[in-house]
Structure 1
Amino acid sequence: MSYQIPSFRHPDLPVNDLGYTRADYEGSISTLCAGCGHDSISGSIVKAVHELSIAPHHIAKLSGIGCSSKAPTYFLGKSHGFNSVHGRMPSVVTGAAMANRDLLYLGVSGDGDTASIGMGQFAHAVRRNLNMVYIVMNNGCYGLTKGQDSATADEGSASKKGDPNPFSAIDLPGMALQLGATFVARSFSGDKEQLVPLIKAAISHHGFALIDVISPCVTFNNNPASTKSYEFVREHSEATGTVDFVPMKEEITTRYHAGSPHEVTMHDGSVIHLNKVDENLDPFDRGSAMMTLQRHRDAGQILTGLIYMDRDSRDLHDVLETSQRPLNTLGESDLCPGNKVLQTINASLR
């Protein structure tokens, strides 16, 4: 069976500030299982990038191997793309980012691609504060190889096969916090109202931004005994607060009490509903974020929303003082400045 995207689109589709419709940010038709949470995440990425008015050719999407790593085929079809070796996506992003800092790097991975074979790659990308958005489509199983438990499967959780997982789970947001990540969030594929603003905020963050998205596998891990099924996540998720992202415009100010809902009208006339975060969580304090994450984990709850953000983040380019210009734009005079400059550099190293 062949699949084709309809060539006809409604002539009155809304456009963003660049004149692009949302269709300009789509990719090929998905061949993932019907109802797969990964497709919902792809839709959230399309919506976020379209609303931020980022030109498709300014984005590079990269992935590894797995169901999640197939997903970039289904969004941002007019952007740069690279499907790498299993677990090695962070290395490819690092090389690309060092060569050209002008692009937005969007890495898409899975729980196996990140928490198993790619764990070492993930850890070093985090600690170096590589300037990228790292989205984990986390379903707790290996969907491409018939649903074996992955490293993020919760202890006692059972996949379609029925055997409870005997091992403790790797918690990626918790690990990222310990490794020094400067932006950590978690969401659920079925909650676009939360996920889309988180993606926008991650894109605007300067440094490494992790979003761990619980994404149920409808074929192998959506049964009642699974802690990553649609029903379990909906019943056990605990949001840090309603999240929204506001691009740079004239300042909108408001005041309201903690714990009470509040409506704010935005520049485009839309209304956002705010609800201040749990008083026990300070999303700008790493220790508070780690303690709150652990407390909810001990209670069997999935903490979602913005968990931590460093407002003074210095990314890898800042640390290494790399070229402000892409390497392919540097000429001979930039790369070979002459003997005098070379002698100065040598003298500084003595």
Structure 2
Amino acid sequence: MSYLKPLFRHPKLPKNKLGYTLKEYEGSLSTLCAGCGHDSISAAIVQACFELSIEPHKVAKISGIGCSSKTPTYFLGNSHGFNSVHGRMPSVATGANMANKDMVYFGVSGDGDSASIGMGQLVHVIRRNLNMVYIVMNNGCYGLTKGQDSATADQGSKSKAGSINPFQAIDLASLAIELGASFVAQSFSGDKLQLVPLIKAALHHKGFAFLNVISPCVTFNNNPGSTKSYDYVREHIEATSSLDFVPEMPEIKTKYDEGKSTRVAMHDGTLIQLNKLANDWDPEDRISAVNALQKARSKNEILTGLLYVNTEWNDLHGTLNTHQTPLNKLKEEDLCPGDEALKEINDGFR
């Protein structure tokens, strides 16, 4: 069996502003199970980066361990990548980001990688508001070790083996909002029309952009009784809004009902335009976002869409007031200014 993609591409494939086709944003052929939701998320990342004309060599993909953490191989094959230790991806992402803030950072994780062994790492990268896109491919089970329930498996859900989960699930979206993530969204791997604009908006957000994506495991967690199966998610999904991401400033062509539309301005002047479906929800109000999540949970609904955004908080570089030039581009005379400069610094502490 070959895992090589065919080299042929239609000569008239659409090109973006860089002159690239989708081919330049693809990766290796996926070895995940056929129908895995993770592949749909990879395809959404490819589509978002292609449409935003992001230069692949300026992207860094960092992951941990798990089915989800294999996926950086399957998208943006011309970018940088690092597969780290289980649950330790946030530390590697923080170090890389502090050394070179000019890169676009994708952190790819799973519910086991983030909600169990990596929970301590996750909470600190959130509260520091590191400038990155952090995607959790959430299937509620450990797919690499035969489908045991993960910490995000809902209480009362049934595994493929027939056992009922007795424990409450960790709600990663609510946790991210509580800890101070400045962009929190939730989606479903099977909803490309929602997921692609969310990834675009996350890429333009300056700060920690957290996306919790329900991504059914077709092998171990797609059975009747599972709350992470394709059928269950489709029957219980409830969106806060439909949205458009506007990367530049032309006239908004999409029409919305009067009084139900809102725009969120990003740091660089781009816009997120939301057609609000939940009239009692405000994406720029943390309490409103948490209440909307809890209300949906009480009704066994999975709330999707942009849940919360704050464009006023500093990212980690802004908080630490780091140098405008990335550390890896500073010259020796900048890093080692000499004895006199050191003496002046030491004198300042006396």
If the length of structure 1 is used for normalisation, what is the TM-score?
0.94
Structure 2 CA distance for aligned equivalents of residues 347 and 277 of structure 1: 60
User: Hey, what does 1:8 align to over in structure 2?
Assistant: 8
The Cα shift of 1:159 comes to 1.6
Given that 1:258 and 1:279 are in contact with CA atoms closer than 8 Å, whether structure 2 keeps it comes out as: no
Gaps of 5+ in 2: 263-271
User: Hey, what does 1:73 align to over in structure 2?
Assistant: 73
Do structure 1's residue 170 and structure 2's residue 178 form an aligned pair?
no
User: Hey, what does 1:108 align to over in structure 2?
Assistant: 108
Q: Secondary structure of 1:275's partner?
A: strand
Do structure 1's residue 94 and structure 2's residue 94 form an aligned pair?
yes
Amino acid at match of 1:216: P
User: Hey, what does 1:220 align to over in structure 2?
Assistant: 220
Amino acid at match of 1:172: L
User: Hey, what does 1:128 align to over in structure 2?
Assistant: 128
Amino acid at match of 1:332: E
Per-residue CA distance 1:140-176 (angstroms, 9 max, x = gap) = 0000000000000000001211111010000000001
Count residues with an aligned counterpart: 341
The Cα shift of 1:251 comes to 4.6
Given that 1:258 and 1:276 are in contact with CA atoms closer than 8 Å, whether structure 2 keeps it comes out as: no
The Cα shift of 1:338 comes to 2.7
Given that 2:260 and 2:279 are in contact with CA atoms closer than 8 Å, whether structure 1 keeps it comes out as: no
Q: Secondary structure of 2:71's partner?
A: helix
The Cα shift of 1:258 comes to 5.2
Q: Would the alpha carbon gap of residues 251 and 339 (structure 1) be closer, same or farther in structure 2, given more than 3 Å must change?
A: farther
The Cα shift of 1:76 comes to 0.5
If the length of structure 2 is used for normalisation, what is the TM-score?
0.94
The Cα shift of 1:260 comes to 6.5
Structure 2 CA distance for aligned equivalents of residues 110 and 97 of structure 1: 21
Amino acid at match of 1:184: V
User: Hey, what does 1:336 align to over in structure 2?
Assistant: 336
Q: Secondary structure of 1:42's partner?
A: helix
Structure 2 CA distance for aligned equivalents of residues 198 and 238 of structure 1: 16
Structure 1 CA distance for aligned equivalents of residues 88 and 118 of structure 2: 6
The Cα shift of 1:322 comes to 1.4
The Cα shift of 1:316 comes to 0.2
Do structure 1's residue 138 and structure 2's residue 138 form an aligned pair?
yes
Per-residue CA distance 1:293-342 (angstroms, 9 max, x = gap) = 11111111000000000021210000111122222221121011233432
User: Hey, what does 2:268 align to over in structure 1?
Assistant: none
Amino acid at match of 2:36: C
Structure 2 CA distance for aligned equivalents of residues 273 and 99 of structure 1: 34
Aligned-pair identity (%): 68
Structure 1 CA distance for aligned equivalents of residues 28 and 254 of structure 2: 42
Structure 1 CA distance for aligned equivalents of residues 65 and 201 of structure 2: 26
Q: Secondary structure of 1:120's partner?
A: helix
Amino acid at match of 1:338: G
User: Hey, what does 1:241 align to over in structure 2?
Assistant: 241
The Cα shift of 1:348 comes to 3.5
Q: Secondary structure of 1:306's partner?
A: strand
Amino acid at match of 1:170: I
Per-residue CA distance 1:74-111 (angstroms, 9 max, x = gap) = 10100000000000000000000000000000000000
Given that 2:136 and 2:212 are in contact with CA atoms closer than 8 Å, whether structure 1 keeps it comes out as: yes
Given that 1:259 and 1:278 are in contact with CA atoms closer than 8 Å, whether structure 2 keeps it comes out as: no
Structure 2 CA distance for aligned equivalents of residues 127 and 150 of structure 1: 24
The Cα shift of 1:254 comes to 8.0
Q: Would the alpha carbon gap of residues 184 and 258 (structure 1) be closer, same or farther in structure 2, given more than 3 Å must change?
A: farther
Structure 2 CA distance for aligned equivalents of residues 274 and 86 of structure 1: 36
Amino acid at match of 1:155: Q
Structure 2 CA distance for aligned equivalents of residues 250 and 349 of structure 1: 53
The Cα shift of 1:274 comes to 6.4
Structure 2 CA distance for aligned equivalents of residues 275 and 286 of structure 1: 19
User: Hey, what does 1:317 align to over in structure 2?
Assistant: 317
327-336 or 14-23: bigger deviation:
327-336
Aligned Cα root-mean-square deviation (Å):
1.9
Q: Would the alpha carbon gap of residues 273 and 184 (structure 1) be closer, same or farther in structure 2, given more than 3 Å must change?
A: closer
Gaps of 5+ in 1: 263-271
Q: Secondary structure of 2:107's partner?
A: strand
Given that 1:258 and 1:277 are in contact with CA atoms closer than 8 Å, whether structure 2 keeps it comes out as: no
Q: Would the alpha carbon gap of residues 245 and 67 (structure 1) be closer, same or farther in structure 2, given more than 3 Å must change?
A: same
Q: Secondary structure of 2:296's partner?
A: helix
Do structure 1's residue 61 and structure 2's residue 61 form an aligned pair?
yes
Per-residue CA distance 1:219-268 (angstroms, 9 max, x = gap) = 00001100000011111011011022110233538885457699xxxxxx
User: Hey, what does 1:203 align to over in structure 2?
Assistant: 203
Amino acid at match of 2:75: F
Q: Would the alpha carbon gap of residues 72 and 342 (structure 1) be closer, same or farther in structure 2, given more than 3 Å must change?
A: same
Structure 2 CA distance for aligned equivalents of residues 254 and 229 of structure 1: 32
User: Hey, what does 2:265 align to over in structure 1?
Assistant: none
Amino acid at match of 1:191: D
333-342 or 186-195: bigger deviation:
333-342
